[in-house]
Structure 1
């Protein structure tokens, strides 16, 4: 082989390599970073589904290198603060980590890119709307407490039943404290469902049979997405009273208070904002309401779908929502990956 032919072959190989490299290079430029964006998949359904939704859009639409990692509030935030990983926590409830999280923001270790749940989390006592429609005065906890006859305990004649939070959860303490603060002991039974699944089953059974039920619950969840439940007015939220109500060692008597709404934010390591501003901008647009998240969880609940399948269904059926987060070019790439 002559030198000229070798040179020609070498040039052709360079051109061929460049042709294959261009798409990847363009993708990396669109993402803004070559670093892997690891997204925390938290242990509760809404956060897990959101992790997979964002992973698909970032990987398929922005061309980012993405990895989903196991997470939970405290370990995820601690790792993000100390090591800058994971890069993203798509639904981080900061009420339990308020002080270290704020310190991390002030130290430029982490940032909040937006609200994961735009109208805040929901927690409280609920009744079915069909019960309130038949009894329009039942809008407050006091009004319902005065009518134990409308919510009879099937095992205790003459008593009403309040379905409490599952044992061992913090909400078990707060619900028990409110039961005491409202002096419900004489006419009501505080019923422990035994588990989250048992509580869900009791609620579903009552709604499907159009029966009355008074129950503690929270959102966003599939239950509140599936059934038309009305949250009762428990008055104003008093954080100091709530803190005592959820502390088994608090010596103060139980007090009346609404359940405070916990902020649920999109937390990120600071480097995401500086190295991948397009990704940071994307996460500033992706907040969903309680109702929207509860609705997406209904699919997973009814179809026994995992987080990845629930996310895929959202991307296929809610284009009117997620396409507002991205450019038309990014949206088309995500659509193509789903077909």
Structure 2
């Protein structure tokens, strides 16, 4: 530390002798000083790791970060449009396109945390798929299948779905309407992590399970696709336009696999006025990339009990320091 202080002092003396000041260079290291970022994070905890990484990078640039404030998607998109929040890095597009009318013209997607590969859809235990020859959601109209997946005795198969306010809840509700599943499947919309923990316990007790999930997510660490569980398809239906099928997915009952959801990009969404006033933030959002595999690994560790997300983010930054230094350098240059 003493060496660092002497080095800076010597540099300042040389600049002073040349009639220059060290202050601008030092200030440029922290272009965000004096500015607070009102940051949000998603209500799903699998998005908190990359939110913490961005927060620490913003703080390295001198910004003070308020939050992140945990919000459901509808509340965030309304808040960012109004300027009550500045940004989050938990956008899922095209899944969140349903919220676009709330923020178009006031906020925008800026960069991408991870492009493509964020799969989502329905899975069942492999034993049930083999025993009942289950291929699509339509198979849950069969009495013997409903009975096998009925864990609460209401005569319907139980599905771990999404809590109200999540983008996936809107899509799942549309599937129920399009495929006329209301009399056959009971969507559980309670807290997702608790509902999935209950489903996993049921699976370990030898029961059959049906659940929605997305990747990266700790669920596919606990229940390995292809071994413990398999993806199933949404049925073909005249008049119902399904997203493009995923190809080469050997953990699905079919290839290509019509999952009912498109592969999503995980992206930052930021208030336009805030981004225009803070070019360093804009460049950082445009350049940062976090591999899905790294998010998956953290999600699995978190589910196993390691919930020190701040330390995990700090470690990820240190492990990727060369790339991080390049992003920060470009962000500082943008603020000149």
TM-score (norm 1): 0.62
Match of 1:281 among 283, 286, 290: 283
- Residue 217 (structure 1) aligned to one of 191, 200, 213: 213
Match of 1:335 in 2: none
- What SS class does the counterpart of residue 33 from structure 2 fall into? coil
1:88 pairs with 2:84? no
The Cα shift of 1:100 comes to: 3.9
Name the CA shift for 1:194/1:330 in 2 (closer, same or farther; >3 Å): closer
1:29, distance to aligned residue in structure 2 (A): 0.9
Deviations 1:266-302 (A, max 9, x none): 0223455545444322222334465543432232232
In structure 2, distance between residues paired with 1:128 and 1:76: 34
Give the aligned length: 286
> Among 94, 114, 124, which residue is 2:121 paired with?
124
Q: Are 1:162 and 2:162 counterparts?
A: no
Q: How much is the aligned-residue C-alpha RMSD, in angstroms?
A: 4.6
Partner of 2:44: 44
Structure 2 residue aligned with 1:196: 192
Cα distance change of structure 1 residues 224 and 23 upon mapping to structure 2, 3 Å threshold: farther
Select the residue among 253, 257, 260 that pairs with 1:258. 260
CA apart distance, 1:69: 4.2
Match of 2:297 in 1: 295
After TM superposition, the structure 1 = structure 2 runs for residues 65-104 of structure 1, keeping only pairs within 5 Å, are 65-72=64-71, 73-83=73-83, 86-93=85-92, 94-104=96-106
Stretches of structure 2 that go unaligned for 5 or more consecutive residues are: 1-11, 243-257, 330-336
* Counterparts of 1:130 and 1:23, CA distance in 2: 68
Q: Deviations over 1:39-88 (max 9, x none)?
A: 2234331343333221122323x3443332425344444444344x6433
Aligned residue number for residue 337 of structure 1: none
Please say if 1:313 is aligned against 2:312: yes
Corresponding residue for 1:153? 150
Counterpart in 2 of 1:33?
Answer: 32
Q: Runs of 5+ in structure 1 lacking a partner?
A: 1-13, 105-109, 243-255, 332-339
Deviation at 1:113, TM superposition (A): 1.7
User: Does the 8 Å CA contact 2:121/2:259 hold for their aligned counterparts?
Assistant: no
Check conservation: 2:116, 2:263, Cα contact below 8 A.
no
Q: Please give the alpha-carbon distance, in whole angstroms, between the structure 2 residues aligned to 1:267 and 1:204.
A: 33
Is contact 1:41-1:71 (8 Å) kept?
A: yes
Q: Take 1:121 and 1:111, find their aligned partners in 2: how far apart are those partners?
A: 20
How far, CA to CA, are the matches of 2:296 and 2:56 in structure 1?
20
Contact kept, 8 Å, 2:232 with 2:259, in 1: the verdict is no
The change in CA–CA distance for 1:208 and 1:137 in structure 2 (over 3 A counts) is: same
| Other-structure match for 1:233 | 233
Residue aligning to 1:112:
109
1:124 aligns to what SS in structure 2? strand
Relative distance call for 1:295 and 1:231 in structure 2 (3 A) is farther
Post-superposition Cα deviations, 1:180-220, rounded to whole Å, max 9, x if no partner, equal 7556688x553647543542123221444465322233454
Change (3 A) 1:277 1:155: closer
Q: Which residue of 1 aligns with 2:53?
A: 53
Residues 166, 199 of structure 1: 8 Å contact kept: no
Instruction: Determine whether 1:267 maps to 2:266.
Output: no
